Structure formats: structure tokens, C-alpha cells
Structure 1
Amino acid sequence: MKRIFKLTLISMIAVLVLAACGGKDKETSGEGSKDKGVMDQIEKRDKIIFGVKHDTRLFGLKNPSTGDVEGFDIDLARALAKEILGDENKVEFKEVTSKTRIPMLNNGDIDAVVATMTISEERKKEVDFTDVYFQAGQSLLVKKGSKVKGLDDLKKGTKVLAVKGSTSALNIREKAPETQVLEFENYAEAFTALKSGKGDALTTDDSILYGMADEDPSFELVGGTFTEEPYGIAVKKGNKDLVDKLNEALKAVKDSGKYDEIKDKWIKQQ
């Protein structure tokens, strides 16, 4: 009886061990693996999901008549998809803002962010970046005839508008500590507030401000640029394969002349 009991016990332990190993293999290598690389998922679905702006003229703006999102970031994303997957139409675009782009990336809602996102040491702690794809600089947008001509005019009593989650809001507090900074959800809201007189200036990257001035010529950029804002494509931290693929694709797009073609199409002021 003791022998039978021992054999039964050994058999039960063996079954439990095999079941545990099987469950572990399924968790780590199965279809629902949490550790599966984003690049593997892209290849499996044969499509890249990019997070892009919908409110940034010249870079990512939704056309109300067609419903399509248009701009430099959009065309660049399509060119990258062509290099990686062989077809510029193998893309899906999801709207992000400066506030939502990192959470959406980390939640797996998007594969990569192409949305006027400045590479910074602080952001490198949260996401990984590709090489620089566009070099911008922070500036000020004001109504023509404004007394604000540059940073030195942002004294106590002045108001500067910025977007939540942007490096611009942090920079302006450092560069002009006496001014009051009002933050909005997106650039469309901030520009509407500037036009309605809720602030003396709007600050962000000059590339974005050029789009606003292009939309309404009664506004102009003043004071030049006072920061360097290198844009990079962001991916979820740890996805080196995707970063490498995007860098290879970006280099190919630049070497072929396609990058300059896209830039000349949208950024005529640069």
C-alpha cells in the first residue's frame, strides 16, 4: 500500500510540474505573450499603427472636408511604412496629443509616435527614440503689432499660452519666470485662445507656429528661436528591433531624396 501511495504521489507531482511548465511556455511564447516584441506584431498584422497629431498644421492636421489627416509627419510615416512593409498604405493613424502620446504608446494602442515629439533626456526614461528626423526650435507667436518682440518682453503681467505635456511649457517657465503660463489640451485650443485675446503670445516649436501663421497671416513669429527641439519617432521602451527598423527606413528615405521632397512640400518656411 505504501508503495502504491508513493507511486501515485510521484505521478501527481509529475502532472503538476508538466502543467506548470506548459502554462509557462504558453505565457512566454504563445500568441498572447506579454513580452512579444512590437516589431513581431507589426509583421504579423502587416500594418504599422502610428500616433499622429490632428491639430498641427503642416505636420498633422485633419482635413475637415475629406476626414484625412495630412502633413509632414503623415507623409513621412507612409514613406517609412513603404520601406519596412513594402507599401505606404500599410499604415493606420490614431490621434494623439502631447498629453496622451506616451500613455497610448505604453498601453499598446499605437506602435510608434510621429507627432512633433522633441527628444529629451526626461522622455528617454519613458520611451525609446529613433534618430532625429526634424530639427526645430521654440519660438513665440504674437498678433502683428504686439508689444512682445521676444523673451525679454515676457514680464510680470504678461500671459503665454502653451500645450499640456509639452516641453515648450517647461521651457518658457524657465526662460521667462515672471510671465503667467496658461496651458491648453491641444494647439487648436491654444491658438483659438490667442486669437480671442486670452494671452499675449503662444509658444511652441517654430515649425508648428509657422503653420498657425500660415493659417492666419495677422499673426507672426518674433524673437527667433531660443531652444533646440530635435524631433524623434518614439516607441515603447525596450523595442530595439523596431527602433533599428525605423532608423534604417529613415536613412533610406533621406538617401533616396524622398525626405527632401516631403519637407519641401510642407515646410516651405524652413
Structure 2
Amino acid sequence: MKKILPALLTILLAFSILIGCSTGGTEKAANTLEQAKKKGVLVVASSNDTPFAYIDKDTKKFTGIDAEIITEIAKRLGIKRVEMKEVKFENLLVELNNKNVDIVADAMYVKPERERIAQFTDIWYKEGDALIVRKDSPIKGIEDLKGKVVGGQKGTTFLEYAQKLQKEGKVKDVKIYNSQAELLLSVNTNKIDACITDSATSVYSIRKDPSLTLKLVSPYTPYFSGNIAAAVRKDDKELLNAVNDELAKLKKEGFILKVLKKYGLNEQNFVAGKK
């Protein structure tokens, strides 16, 4: 018994040391907000579409409505730099959940199917769709699209609407494009008769590019009037709350409305509250 007791104590001591090594030395992993503050950079996913979140060809800077908002929020959170990672629109939430980016900010509509896989901030602003045609086009509304070929950008709500019109027999065919630039260019070069896309992008692009002989059909009643917000991973509560706190301040200070007006939007696009 005397021999067994020391041996037993030795085993228990060794076991307690192993337990201590396996738990005592483990630190809780830093959350996304803490990591961004430590690195001094917040990585934002965007499809590089104007006028929301894109790299300006001249200045090479991260520019646009969403870009200016997230950059100001990051600054107020003590994060020195915002870095954009270009991702195809349909893959934005995939890249987010694969932890290749910290947040998505690219005029993304808040939709139930997206909320199932990501967590959205409070609403940044709202906007709707537009019907874009060439300046010499006879198309004056959705009713004139019968027998016509319409385009839409992959992964967007606007493409879903165009495909809905096709199923209803109101459109002959729907062509899918990877970017907003390709979509507008195809209308401009007669490859398609019209496109359905977001109004803000259309207004900004047509103003900026004189080679685009396009117009927004008017009057036109938008099928969608979507709420725009940023997306974070489901477990990034700290980042979500921090962004929402700063967003509320920016709204009260008039910063958000000022940015919207800078890019051709107005009070109708502004959302004062959370939803």
C-alpha cells in the first residue's frame, strides 16, 4: 500500500500538469474587431462597382458611397486603414464566411436568404431599380419589353426581376453579366435592348462616361426599393455593434446624407432610423 500511494500521487501530479498545459496556456482568440484594430486595417469585400465601393482609376483610392461610410466608421473605431478586396458580387458572402474578408460593403440589399448566412448592420440607405435603354430607344416602360432581350448582373436582385419577367412572358430573353460595366456597355453597343439595374449606379455611370449614350426610362416605378446595409459574419457581434453605434452617430451628424448627395442620391434615399 505504501508503494502504491507514492506511485498514485506521481500519476495524479503528472495528469494535473498536463491539464494545466492544455488549458492554462490557451488564450481566447481575438474577434474580428480586435484583430482589425491590432493590424490597423479592415478588409472590405466589394465587386468594385460604382458608385458604391470601388477603386478610382485616377486616384487609386477606395471610393464611393459605401466606401466613404465604412472608411469613416473604421477611422472612428481606431482602425487606420480600409482595404478593398474585389470579389464577384455573387461570391461576396461566400468570401465573408470563408474569413477572407472582415465585412461586405457593396450596396447589398438586405434579403431573408442573405440574412440566413450573414448578419446585417442597421440600414445605411435605400434605393431602387431602373430600366436603362439607349437614348434613341422606343422603349418607354416594362410593357414595351415583350420580344426584347434584357440584361442583368449576376447575383443581384435586379437579375431576379428580369428573370421573373421572362417567366411571365414579358421578356424574350435575359442575358447575364458579371459586372455593371459590362451590362451598361452591352446596352450601349446594341447587344441587348435594355437592362434592369440599380438607379444610383446608372445615374453615376452615365454622368461620368460620355461614351454611354444611355438614359433611364422615366417615368418608371421601381419594382424594388431595397434597404442597403453592410454584412458581417454571424459570430461577429462586437464588430456589428461597433459599426451600428458609429453609423447612428453619422446619421445624426448629417454625414450619411452628405455622402448620398455627393453621388447623386437625395433625402428619399436616406434612412434615419435602424430599419
Q: Is the TM value for this pair above 0.5? A: yes
CA shift in 2, pair 1:15/1:140, >3 Å: farther
**Alpha-carbon distance in 2 for matches of 1:41, 1:237:** 17
Q: Which residue of 1 aligns with 2:231?
A: 234
**Native 8 Å contact 2:76 2:246 kept in 1:** yes
State the one-letter code of the partner of 2:164: E
Q: Which residue of 1 aligns with 2:141?
A: 150
Q: Which residue of 2 aligns with 1:112?
A: 103
CA RMSD of the aligned region, Å? 2.6
**Native 8 Å contact 2:129 2:222 kept in 1:** yes
Q: Which residue of 2 aligns with 1:167?
A: 157
**Native 8 Å contact 2:152 2:158 kept in 1:** yes
**Alpha-carbon distance in 2 for matches of 1:121, 1:26:** 41
State the one-letter code of the partner of 2:119: D
CA shift in 2, pair 1:48/1:61, >3 Å: closer
**Native 8 Å contact 1:162 1:182 kept in 2:** yes
Offset at 1:161? 1.1
The C-alpha deviation readout for 1:132-157, integer Å capped at 9, x for no partner, is 111011221111132322222222x3
**Native 8 Å contact 2:119 2:233 kept in 1:** yes
| Count of aligned pairs | 260
Q: What secondary structure, in the 3-state scheme, does the structure 2 residue paired with 1:100 have?
A: helix
Unaligned 5+ residue runs, structure 1? none
**Native 8 Å contact 2:43 2:84 kept in 1:** yes
* Structure 1 runs, 4 residues or longer, greater than 3 Å off: 2-27
Structure 1 range deviating more: 244-253 or 12-21:
12-21
**Native 8 Å contact 2:54 2:67 kept in 1:** no
**Alpha-carbon distance in 2 for matches of 1:7, 1:197:** 90
**Alpha-carbon distance in 2 for matches of 1:75, 1:108:** 23
Q: Which residue of 2 aligns with 1:19?
A: 18
CA shift in 2, pair 1:190/1:14, >3 Å: farther
**Native 8 Å contact 2:200 2:265 kept in 1:** no
CA shift in 2, pair 1:10/1:195, >3 Å: farther
Counterparts of 1:28-39 in structure 2 under 5 Å? 29-30=27-28, 33=29, 36-39=30-33
**Alpha-carbon distance in 2 for matches of 1:82, 1:253:** 12
**Alpha-carbon distance in 2 for matches of 1:196, 1:13:** 80
Q: Which residue of 1 aligns with 2:198?
A: 205
2:40 aligned with 1:46, yes or no? yes
Q: Percent identity?
A: 23
Q: What secondary structure, in the 3-state scheme, does the structure 1 residue paired with 2:83 have?
A: strand
2:244 aligned with 1:253, yes or no? no
Offset at 1:124? 0.1
State the one-letter code of the partner of 2:65: F
Q: Which residue of 2 aligns with 1:83?
A: 76
Offset at 1:59? 1.9
Q: What secondary structure, in the 3-state scheme, does the structure 2 residue paired with 1:241 have?
A: helix
Q: Which residue of 1 aligns with 2:213?
A: 218
Q: Which residue of 1 aligns with 2:53?
A: 60
Q: What secondary structure, in the 3-state scheme, does the structure 2 residue paired with 1:117 have?
A: strand
What's the TM-score, normalizing by structure 2? 0.83
CA shift in 2, pair 1:44/1:4, >3 Å: farther
**Native 8 Å contact 1:52 1:73 kept in 2:** no
Offset at 1:42? 2.1
Structure 1 range deviating more: 181-190 or 213-222:
213-222
Offset at 1:12? 5.0
Q: What secondary structure, in the 3-state scheme, does the structure 2 residue paired with 1:146 have?
A: coil
The C-alpha deviation readout for 1:165-210, integer Å capped at 9, x for no partner, is 1122112222442322211211122222222222111222111221
Offset at 1:110? 1.4
CA shift in 2, pair 1:146/1:40, >3 Å: same
Candidates 109, 116, 125, aligned match of 1:134: 125
Q: What secondary structure, in the 3-state scheme, does the structure 2 residue paired with 1:105 have?
A: helix
Offset at 1:44? 2.4
CA shift in 2, pair 1:122/1:243, >3 Å: same
**Alpha-carbon distance in 1 for matches of 2:131, 2:215:** 8
